[in-house]
Amino acid sequence: MRKPRSFIAAGSAAILFAATGLAGGKPPPPEGDIACAGEHPITGQFVNDAAQHGLKGVANRDDLLIGMLSYMREPREAAEAASGTVLFIKSPKGWRAVIPRHEEEEVGLYVAPSSHKVIVITQRRIGDPGQSFTVVRSEDGFTTSTCATLRFPRDLNQPTWNGEYLEVHDLDINKRGRGVLVGSAAIERTGEQPRALWFSYATRDDGRSWGPPRRLTKQQDAPQGTLVPASLVDAPALEADLRAFVTGPR
């Protein structure tokens, strides 16, 4: 069962921090110019670019909009400076724009109903699928945040590159800061029956850092914790507020 989007969970796995397995096949591409969770100036054109495929709000949140900046847009200088998923965050001082990771798209979004905690998972989707997840978390409207790179398991793309990658199945973290992120990979190799491989990553510091991927024998969900998958909804009033902020005096 996927708490909206896709991934699998492991029970109480042994936890090793920071170190992550290297991706199979070819190495991941170099990271973009914008730092993880980098803030970007908001202009009318920037909002229009992010809204090309629509801006979405998050159910039960009146301070968050999500958009997408195409890496194919013009002018090229703007696309090369900032592309991928963008978060618009409202605070008493107005709106801010944060890019979780340049050239990466959101593949999982989780929120804590009882607080302002947000965890967004992104992956590079330009050309061949990226061979890692970026996990960005914040509890204060992205005034501060932490970022972690989760490299995909060596089991993928063996013995040669085959375009295999993980998809998010589930994520949850309990009140003690221990949690699990689960993912699956669709495997279709010559001479083999199609199958899915399941893996989990574990954290014990509330998602700030994660251990290496652990192979699972079957599909699992993350042990229940404090997070729920975000439900994306139309938010015309919130979008109007953002656009009024951009055009108004500041």
Q: Which of 73, 203, 208 is nearest to 138 (CA)?
A: 208
- pLDDT tens readout for residues 166-180: 999 999 999 999 999
Q: What integer pLDDT is reported at residue 119 of this predicted model?
A: 98
Q: Is 76 part of any domain? A: yes
pTM listed for this prediction? 0.85
Q: Is 113 part of any domain? A: yes
Q: What integer pLDDT is reported at residue 249 of this predicted model?
A: 80
Q: Is 16 part of any domain? A: no
Average confidence (pLDDT) over 48-56: 97
Q: Is the pLDDT of residue 33 over 80?
A: no
Q: Is 25 part of any domain? A: no
- Backbone angles phi and psi of 243, in degrees to 5: -65, -35
- Domains held by the chain: number: 1
Cα distances from 160 to residues 24, 46, 123, 188, 205, in angstroms, run 8, 40, 21, 12, 35
Provide, rounded to the nearest whole percent, the portion of the chain with pLDDT above 90: 80
Average confidence (pLDDT) over 147-153: 97
Structure-token match 């998972």, residue found: 121
Least confident of 24-33, 135-144, 213-222, 239-248: 24-33
Q: Is 43 part of any domain? A: yes
Q: Is 202 part of any domain? A: yes
Query: What are 197's two structure tokens?
Result: 């491989």
Q: Which of 121, 159, 130, 149 is nearest to 212 (CA)?
A: 149
Q: Is 86 part of any domain? A: yes
136, with CB counted inside 10 A (0-12, 13-18, 19+), is buried
Q: Is 88 part of any domain? A: yes
The residue segments making up the domain with residue 164 are 38-247
